Amino acid sequence: MSSPHFWTRHQEEIQRINQERSRLLEKIEVWTRLKRELEEAKVLTELALEEEDLPSLKEASDLVKSLKRDVQGLTLRAIMEDPEDKLNAIVAINAGTGGTDAQDWCQLLFRMYTRWAERNHMEVQVNDILSGDEAGIKNVTFTVIGPYAYGFLKAENGIHRLVRISPFDASGRRHTSFASVSVYPDVGEEIVIEIDEKDLRIDTFRASGPGGQHVNKTSSAVRITHIPTGIVVQCQNEKSQHRNREMAMKILKARLYELEKKKKEAKKQELHQNQKEISWGNQIRSYVFNPYRLVKDHRTNLEVGNVEAVLDGEIDMFIEAYLYVKKNGQSLENRELRMVLGS
């Protein structure tokens, strides 16, 4: 970046290198902070024991617990070995069976991931969103921008099931709703994906959502169909057709990259397992409000009773459990898993 020719590069290349620099600086800063806080905790503990100062000893204990949590975060990043793990994540949520309840569930999941991103100091950019007929949203595609966003959020790929007393049922009956969550790495310019223009069908249409007079009066929204694979992506949240096309192409590249990755995994006999995880009706996680309150991840057996906290973005434990089980190739009981995660 100190080279005089650096700023003459393409803007996307400058942005990519800036992001890589930020990731490296963050690693150094976190390591330096943890080393400093560990020394402080050690000194504080020694003084507290010497003086028999219980409040200071408790303060040191709290600091060690916080340090343990941060070290776990570094450990999780260390086990993310795939080159795309460090990239931003493109997330698509689609309402499934359940009508209005499913569309409301889709919106609740969107809020959950938005809150998770905020807690982890990541940015969310909405690429495309389609509102529900009565409430909620039918589908939404958004990008989570931050270090290792894909590495963490790939744990959310699959079917999410909600069981609750429906707020849309006048009889107050219990309903089960489904929504699919698909997560792709934002490959950007880091990984080259060759796309032949002849394989694309590009349609423009008027944006259906909010966006000002310009968006509603012109055909600024873009839909791209990749003919060989049948993949369809669209973007309508930007004000110009050029920006919408650019964002749609980025999403298409991510989906094509994920498709190729799955083909390679098939050769390693892993495709069957992945399909089971994301196929419709094979939920990876259940969120139950009635007749009891529980969130259970069916891949790791991890259970959490505070459903409201989970829907408010506290999903780190589920992500950590998934990464741990995937790395070690074994599933543990809920109690054993909590011990491993230090909770």
**Count of CB atoms situated within 10 Å of the CB of 293:** 14
Examine the fold and report which residue of 44, 78, 112 is the final residue of a domain before the chain moves on.
Answer: 78
The residue among 225, 251, 267 that closes a domain is: 267
Classify residue 1: in a domain, yes or no.
no
Q: For residue 37, what are the domain limits?
A: 6-78
Q: Please, which pLDDT band fits residue 71 given cuts at 50, 70 and 90?
A: confident
User: Residue 322 in contact with residue 183, Cβ under 8 Å?
Assistant: no
| Residue that is written with structure tokens 């074994």 in the block | 330
Bridge partners, 288 (sequence order): 163, 294
Same domain, 284 and 250: no
Q: Are 315 and 301 members of one domain?
A: yes
129 and 161 within one domain: yes
Residues 201 and 99 in one domain: no
303 and 158 housed in the same domain: yes
Q: Which of 2-11, 160-169, 227-236, 287-296 is predicted least confidently?
A: 2-11
CATH of the domain at 233: 3.30.160.20
Instruction: Yes or no: say if 294 and 305 are a contact pair by the CB < 8 Å rule.
Output: yes
On whether residue 249 sits in a domain, the answer given is yes
* Judgement on whether residues 249 and 329 belong to the same structural domain of the protein: no
pLDDT tens digits along 183-217:
998 886 555 677 888 899 998 888 765 544 444 55
Pairing of strands 89-95, 123-131: unpaired
**CB contact set of 18 (below 8 Å; sequence gap of 6+):** 1
At 7-33, the pLDDT tens digits run 888 887 888 888 888 878 888 888 899
Q: Which of 128-132, 159-163, 257-261, 279-283 tops mean pLDDT?
A: 159-163
> 44, 43, 40: which is closest to 55 by C-alpha?
44
Whether pLDDT at 276 is above 70 = no
Instruction: Report the percentage of the chain scoring pLDDT > 90.
Output: 36
Do 100 and 161 share a domain, yes or no? yes
Q: What is the pLDDT of residue 272?
A: 41
CB 162 within 8 A of CB 97: no
Are 180 and 275 within one domain? yes
> Could you tell me the pTM of the whole model?
0.67
How many Å apart are CA 107 and CA 142, to the nearest integer? 13
Enter the tokens of residue 110.
Answer: 């969107």
Amino acid identity, residue 297? D
Q: Are residues 20 and 124 in the same domain?
A: no
Query: Which CATH number do you get for residue 172?
Result: 3.30.70.1660
Residue that finishes a domain, picked among 53, 78, 103: 78
Instruction: List the end-to-end C-alpha distance of the chain, in Å, as a whole number.
Output: 42
